[in-house]
Amino acid sequence: SAVISQKPSRDICQRGTSLTIQCQVDSQVTMMFWYRQQPGQSLTLIATANQGSEATYESGFVIDKFPISRPNLTFSTLTVSNMSPEDSSIYLCSAKPAMADYGYTFGSGTRLTVV
Protein backbone atom coordinates (compact mmCIF):
# COMPACT_ATOMS: atom_id res chain seq x y z
CA SER A 1 0.00 0.00 0.00
CA ALA A 2 1.03 3.63 -0.42
CA VAL A 3 3.12 5.37 2.22
CA ILE A 4 2.17 8.94 3.07
CA SER A 5 4.47 11.49 4.66
CA GLN A 6 2.53 14.25 6.38
CA LYS A 7 3.96 17.36 7.95
CA PRO A 8 4.04 19.14 10.25
CA SER A 9 3.21 16.51 12.85
CA ARG A 10 2.04 19.18 15.26
CA ASP A 11 1.86 22.93 15.61
CA ILE A 12 0.63 25.59 17.99
CA CYS A 13 -0.68 28.63 16.17
CA GLN A 14 -2.04 32.03 17.05
CA ARG A 15 -5.65 32.75 16.21
CA GLY A 16 -6.12 34.62 12.96
CA THR A 17 -3.11 32.98 11.31
CA SER A 18 -3.05 30.18 8.72
CA LEU A 19 -1.28 26.83 8.62
CA THR A 20 -0.55 24.71 5.56
CA ILE A 21 -0.29 20.95 5.97
CA GLN A 22 1.48 18.88 3.34
CA CYS A 23 1.10 15.26 2.31
CA GLN A 24 3.49 13.44 0.01
CA VAL A 25 2.64 9.95 -1.25
CA ASP A 26 5.34 7.58 -2.37
CA SER A 27 3.37 6.49 -5.42
CA GLN A 28 0.75 7.93 -7.71
CA VAL A 29 -2.75 7.62 -6.29
CA THR A 30 -6.06 8.40 -7.90
CA MET A 31 -7.76 9.99 -4.93
CA MET A 32 -6.56 11.97 -1.93
CA PHE A 33 -8.71 13.12 0.94
CA TRP A 34 -8.48 15.39 3.95
CA TYR A 35 -10.10 14.51 7.27
CA ARG A 36 -10.49 16.18 10.62
CA GLN A 37 -10.64 14.28 13.89
CA GLN A 38 -11.62 16.18 16.99
CA PRO A 39 -10.72 14.79 20.42
CA GLY A 40 -12.66 11.64 21.22
CA GLN A 41 -14.46 11.75 17.87
CA SER A 42 -14.27 9.76 14.69
CA LEU A 43 -13.01 11.11 11.40
CA THR A 44 -14.96 13.69 9.44
CA LEU A 45 -14.24 14.15 5.76
CA ILE A 46 -13.37 17.75 4.88
CA ALA A 47 -12.86 17.39 1.15
CA THR A 48 -11.62 15.30 -1.73
CA ALA A 49 -8.49 16.70 -3.33
CA ASN A 50 -8.84 16.49 -7.10
CA GLN A 51 -5.75 16.57 -9.26
CA GLY A 52 -5.80 19.52 -11.61
CA SER A 53 -9.16 20.88 -10.48
CA GLU A 54 -10.86 22.38 -7.48
CA ALA A 55 -11.39 20.21 -4.42
CA THR A 56 -14.82 18.81 -3.62
CA TYR A 57 -15.93 19.94 -0.16
CA GLU A 58 -18.30 18.22 2.21
CA SER A 59 -21.20 19.97 3.84
CA GLY A 60 -19.99 22.39 6.48
CA PHE A 61 -16.57 22.96 4.92
CA VAL A 62 -15.75 25.76 2.47
CA ILE A 63 -12.85 26.57 0.22
CA ASP A 64 -12.16 29.95 1.78
CA LYS A 65 -11.56 28.32 5.15
CA PHE A 66 -9.82 25.15 3.94
CA PRO A 67 -8.15 25.79 0.59
CA ILE A 68 -6.67 22.63 -0.89
CA SER A 69 -4.13 22.09 -3.61
CA ARG A 70 -3.37 18.92 -5.56
CA PRO A 71 -0.80 19.82 -8.21
CA ASN A 72 0.01 16.22 -9.12
CA LEU A 73 -0.87 12.62 -8.30
CA THR A 74 1.48 12.34 -5.32
CA PHE A 75 1.10 15.60 -3.40
CA SER A 76 -1.58 17.67 -1.71
CA THR A 77 -1.82 20.50 0.77
CA LEU A 78 -4.56 21.67 3.11
CA THR A 79 -4.51 25.17 4.54
CA VAL A 80 -6.47 26.03 7.67
CA SER A 81 -7.13 29.74 7.28
CA ASN A 82 -7.88 32.49 9.79
CA MET A 83 -7.69 29.98 12.60
CA SER A 84 -9.73 30.07 15.78
CA PRO A 85 -9.52 27.78 18.82
CA GLU A 86 -12.41 25.74 17.37
CA ASP A 87 -10.04 24.63 14.60
CA SER A 88 -7.88 22.81 17.15
CA SER A 89 -7.99 19.22 15.97
CA ILE A 90 -6.05 16.48 14.25
CA TYR A 91 -5.96 16.78 10.49
CA LEU A 92 -5.26 13.68 8.42
CA CYS A 93 -4.72 13.12 4.75
CA SER A 94 -5.45 9.82 3.10
CA ALA A 95 -4.98 8.22 -0.29
CA LYS A 96 -6.99 5.67 -2.19
CA PRO A 97 -4.92 2.88 -3.73
CA ALA A 98 -5.65 1.42 -7.13
CA MET A 99 -7.18 -1.77 -5.70
CA ALA A 100 -10.70 -1.02 -4.48
CA ASP A 101 -10.57 -3.83 -1.96
CA TYR A 102 -7.77 -2.21 -0.07
CA GLY A 103 -8.58 0.37 2.52
CA TYR A 104 -7.26 3.85 2.35
CA THR A 105 -3.87 4.71 3.78
CA PHE A 106 -3.45 7.63 6.15
CA GLY A 107 -0.74 10.10 6.88
CA SER A 108 0.42 10.27 10.48
CA GLY A 109 -1.70 13.33 11.16
CA THR A 110 -1.13 16.94 12.17
CA ARG A 111 -2.11 17.89 15.70
CA LEU A 112 -3.11 21.54 15.58
CA THR A 113 -3.65 23.70 18.64
CA VAL A 114 -4.90 27.25 18.16
CA VAL A 115 -4.36 29.63 21.04
Partner 1 sequence: RKEVEQDPGPFNVPEGATVAFNCTYSNSASQSFFWYRQDCRKEPKLLMSVYSSGNEDGRFTAQLNRASQYISLLIRDSKLSDSATYLCVVSYGQNFVFGPGTRLSVLP
Binding site for partner 1 (CB under 8 A): 1, 31, 33, 41-43, 45, 48, 92, 94, 96, 100-109, 111
Cβ contacts of 61 within 8 Å, gap of 6 or more? 46, 47
Q: Which is nearer to partner 1, 5 or 17 (CB)?
A: 5
**CB of residue 103 vs partner 1: minimum separation in angstroms?**
4
- In the bound state with partner 1, the residue whose beta carbon lies nearer, of 13 and 43, is 43
Task: Output the DSSP codes for 59-80.
Answer: TT--TTTS-EEEEETTEEEEEE
CB of 90 to partner 1, least distance (A): 8
Residue 1 CB, shortest distance to partner 1, in Å, is 8
7: Cβ–Cβ under 8 A, 6 or more apart, which residues? Answer: 21, 22, 110
